[in-house]
């Protein structure tokens, strides 16, 4: 008769008693419990011991590294400065990328948290390389984004070295893209603000053929370019010819004593300045009268002329602040709302201009 080969049955066919079976089960349960207790604690391995997967490995006093053939790539964990680069949690070196992080869905590929007052992420470029470079997503997102901390932290800060720029922006090649763009926060925040050091310029613009600085306001109460000096100095200085679209010349025909300019938008604050361009004895400008409703003004001579004569005109507005308050009441209104008083009506203006 052949042996019984069923699992749990001895080959000699001997039967185990119930007490023997219970003792064996208790021993197996005790072994499993001991194994679970051992696995719950970090593996305390000696130097040179293998790393145990799925467990915390403690007790190392030197770094743990992996090197490829030829040492072209390597990765280091828990380096207490064996590499001479300081205390490192992770150190990676590759021919193309040292450390690569990828996230699924909307997660971050790489996050860094600084300790104390340390930086969250710091990068050092080699040669002409950039310290930190970022490329935005395909939907037109930003390449690099910074969000200030606390209540008044700066989003992005740059410090130049030597004569280098603190922050430099360049628009995309062969397009009219903007190099640096700023959008003010809240309802009245400044888009771009510059503060010069000592006698340096707060904002400096240079263009080989275009405008050095362009200011444009889209609101009727706004100002395209505001020049302000709160210290009593010069508010606006033009070095070179100044062009004004609200200026020109008119011709008073022979036998006439007046001439009218039409198609000129005027307000109650508009001032019309006029002067003769020829020296004619006994002839002068008697008045220059604006017609706000008719968008025109008329220059009157003291008498009719026997030959045509030209008159130069220049249109300016009385000083008003950006809120439409008359200059005489500006200081009181500004103090009431906490706005820094403007000095438009009290600042000197120098212009070198030609007709």
In this predicted model, what pLDDT tens digit does every residue of 263-304 receive, in sequence order? Answer: 999 999 999 999 999 999 999 999 999 999 999 999 999 999
Q: How far is CA 75 from CA 57, 70, 92, 339, in A?
A: 17, 14, 4, 58
> Position of tokens 């062009």?
243
Residue 302 lies in a domain: yes
Closest CA to 60 of 42, 85, 40: 42
**Is the pLDDT score of 102 beyond 60?**
yes
Question: At a CB cut-off of 8 Å and minimum separation 6, what does 104 contact?
Answer: none
State the pLDDT confidence band at 325, using cuts at 50, 70 and 90.
very low
- 355 pLDDT more than 50: no
Q: Is residue 235 part of a domain?
A: no
Half-sphere exposure of 246 (CA within 13 A, CB side): 14
Cβ-Cβ contacts under 8 Å for 266 (sequence gap 6 or more)? 290, 291, 292, 295, 296, 297, 315
Nearest to residue 74, comparing CAs of 51, 99, 46, 53? 99
Give a yes or no: residue 240 inside a domain: no
Does residue 278 form part of some domain? yes
Domain span including residue 304: 247-350
Query: What mean pLDDT is predicted for residues 49-71?
Result: 88
CA nearest to 283, candidates 260, 309, 251, 313: 309
* Mean pLDDT for the chain overall: 79
The verdict on residue 340 lying in a domain is: yes
**Assigned domain for 89 exists:** no
Does 16 have pLDDT greater than 70?
Answer: no
User: Average pLDDT, stretch 215-219?
Assistant: 91
Does residue 2 register a pLDDT over 50? no
Instruction: Let me know if residue 288 belongs to a domain.
Output: yes
The Cβ of residue 268 has, within 10 Å, a number of other Cβ atoms equal to 8
Looking at residue 32, its pLDDT comes to 42
Cα 137 from Cα 103, distance rounded (Å): 14
Contact 138, 146 (CB under 8 A): no
Residue 341: is its pLDDT beyond 90? no
pTM of the model: 0.56
Please indicate, yes or no, if residue 313 is contained in any of the structural domains.
yes
**How many domains are there within the chain?**
1
């Amino acid at each position: 008769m052949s042996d019984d080969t069923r699992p749990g049955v001895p080959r000699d066919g001997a039967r185990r008693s119930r007490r023997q079976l219970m003792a064996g089960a208790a021993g197996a349960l005790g072994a499993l419990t001991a194994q679970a207790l051992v696995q719950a604690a970090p593996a305390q391995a000696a130097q040179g011991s293998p790393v145990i997967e799925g467990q915390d490995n403690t007790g190392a006093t030197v770094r743990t590294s992996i090197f490829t053939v030829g040492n072209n790539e390597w990765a280091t964990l828990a380096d207490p400065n064996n590499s001479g680069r300081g205390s490192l949690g992770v150190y990676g070196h590759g021919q193309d990328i040292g450390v690569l992080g990828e996230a699924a869905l909307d997660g971050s590929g790489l996050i860094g948290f600084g300790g104390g007052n340390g930086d969250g992420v710091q990068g050092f470029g080699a040669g002409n390389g950039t310290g930190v470079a970022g490329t935005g997503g395909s939907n037109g997102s930003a390449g690099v984004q910074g969000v200030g901390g606390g209540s008044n932290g700066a989003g992005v800060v740059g410090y130049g070295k030597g004569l280098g720029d603190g922050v430099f922006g360049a628009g995309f090649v062969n397009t009219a893209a903007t190099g640096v763009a700023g959008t003010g926060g809240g309802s009245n925040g400044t888009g771009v603000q510059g503060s010069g050091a000592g006698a340096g310029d707060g904002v400096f613009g240079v263009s080989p053929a275009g405008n050095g600085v362009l200011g444009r306001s889209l609101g009727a109460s706004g100002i395209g370019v505001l020049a302000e000096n709160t210290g009593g100095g010069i508010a606006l200085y033009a070095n070179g010819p100044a062009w004004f679209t609200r200026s020109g010349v008119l011709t008073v025909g022979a036998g006439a004593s007046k001439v009218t300019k039409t198609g000129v938008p005027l307000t109650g604050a508009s001032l019309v300045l006029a002067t003769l361009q020829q020296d004619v004895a006994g002839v002068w400008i008697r008045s220059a009268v604006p017609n706000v409703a008719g968008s025109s003004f008329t220059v009157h001579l003291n008498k009719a002329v026997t030959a045509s004569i030209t008159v130069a005109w220049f249109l300016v507005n009385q000083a008003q602040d950006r809120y439409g308050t008359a200059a005489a009441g500006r200081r009181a209104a500004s103090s009431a709302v906490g706005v820094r008083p403007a000095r438009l009506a009290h600042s000197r203006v120098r212009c070198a201009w030609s007709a």
